[in-house]
Amino acid sequence: MDLSRPRCRHWRELVLLASLLACGTRQAYSQISIDPESLLGIKGFRTVLVLQNVTQDVQEYSWHRGANDTAENMIVSYKPPSDTWQSGPMFSGRENVTRTGSLVIRRSALNDTGNYTARVDFGNRTEKATGCLNIQELEKKPDIWANASSVVEYMDPVAAICYTNATNVNWYVEYTRVSSNDRMTVSPDLKTLIIHRVSRYDRTLQCETESIPEFPWRSEPLSLSVDYGPDKVQLRTSHIILNGILSAKIGSEVHMECNAISRPSPKYHWTHNGSLVSLSGAKIILPSLSWEQMGRYRCIVENPMTQLTMYREFQIQVHRSEHSHVVNRGFYISGAKVVWLIVIIVLSSVYLCGILIYILISHLSTRRQRGT
């Protein structure tokens, strides 16, 4: 349910009552009347005094300044039968009568405040209605001030003050209206907003005043510089990392890049097997992977403003298909060739052993023959 309209109407009725008392007159009770809500105007804006309960066959509408409908007080009149308008002594050049009999005042001024009388001629009778118009001036746009312009997320508080004489003040954070909650507090007089834990989404503050219903004034946006992060540190590599292991072949090119969400932009450091790598920056390229470059790598992301540090790490290992190929560094044979090599070595060993045994037996037989 929208409760703003009843409150606004009640407020207008109070203003109207005060205006009527100040002008020293009351609405004339007759068949025609002036809409009470139209008796409140704003300086510099158009005001329309709306006639109500007007029947057909109107011969002439005339509006007068004051509580009387004399010719000397006439502002302007309109005759529907001939569709003609006529200005009177009180015409300022800003007034006009619509075809339904309402009085339009353009660029309303404070001195337009006062009684206005509408006279309607039906030919066989005349009816009048008097109302007191109250022109009010809008307050100037409120000013806003904060005790800090650069803060750290979730660490620093901010207090903002709205400089205004209005009693109805609303606060906006990132153009969304806010009220007191577990992270923010609005003072009892509504003129101070305290954000206890600033977040990265609290970059714009504004206050809004509404001294006159339906005519709000909002301050210029106040920008906050919020430092945050690093968070959501991610690694991107030219090879797939599975369970923290990057498998690559010796001699292949390996790209490693580290990214994080942070303000201001973070500093990047890399370590290899616990030792700081001389290269700095978010990206490292190993043009030709060597055995010495195997091991554990860590990307360290640092935000000097928030004093927070995050890291991600992984390990580079030789591709598992190469483990069975390696005899020594720099010499490689396939798995099938290794099997054949083993078979040949075993057969050769058996063959050599057979030859040695044959030679030994032949030698012993020759010595026995000589002895006999």
Q: What is the pLDDT of residues 280-312, one digit of tens each?
A: 799 999 999 999 999 999 999 999 999 999 999
Position 21 in a domain:
no
Rounded to 5°, the CA angle 352-356-362 comes to: 145
Which residue is it, tokens 């300086």?
Answer: 43
Position 351 in a domain:
no
Which residue is it, tokens 């006279």?
Answer: 119
CATH number, position 191: 2.60.40.10
216 closest CA partner among 264, 260, 177 = 177
Domain span holding position 310: 228-318
Mean pLDDT of all residues in 260-268: 95
Give yes or no: residues 116 and 39 share one domain: yes
Please state the domain count of the chain. Answer: 3
Separation between Cα atoms, residue 23 and residue 17, nearest integer Å: 10
Which residue is it, tokens 């058996």?
Answer: 350
Q: What is the model's pLDDT at position 25?
A: 46
Contact 261, 231 (CB under 8 A): yes
Q: What is the model's pLDDT at position 36?
A: 93
Q: Which of 115, 136, 157 is the last residue of a domain?
A: 136
Q: Model pTM?
A: 0.62
Whether omega for the bond prior to residue 264 falls within 30 degrees of 0, making it cis, is: yes
Position 114 in a domain:
yes
Position 116 in a domain:
yes
Q: Which of 223, 239, 266 is the last residue of a domain?
A: 223
- Give me the chain's average pLDDT, please: 86
Q: What is the pLDDT of residues 70-120, one digit of tens each?
A: 999 999 999 999 999 999 999 999 999 999 999 999 999 999 999 999 999
Separation between Cα atoms, residue 133 and residue 113, nearest integer Å: 5
Is pLDDT of 230 > 60? yes
Q: What is the model's pLDDT at position 193?
A: 98
Q: Which of 284, 303, 318 is the last residue of a domain?
A: 318
Position 194 in a domain:
yes
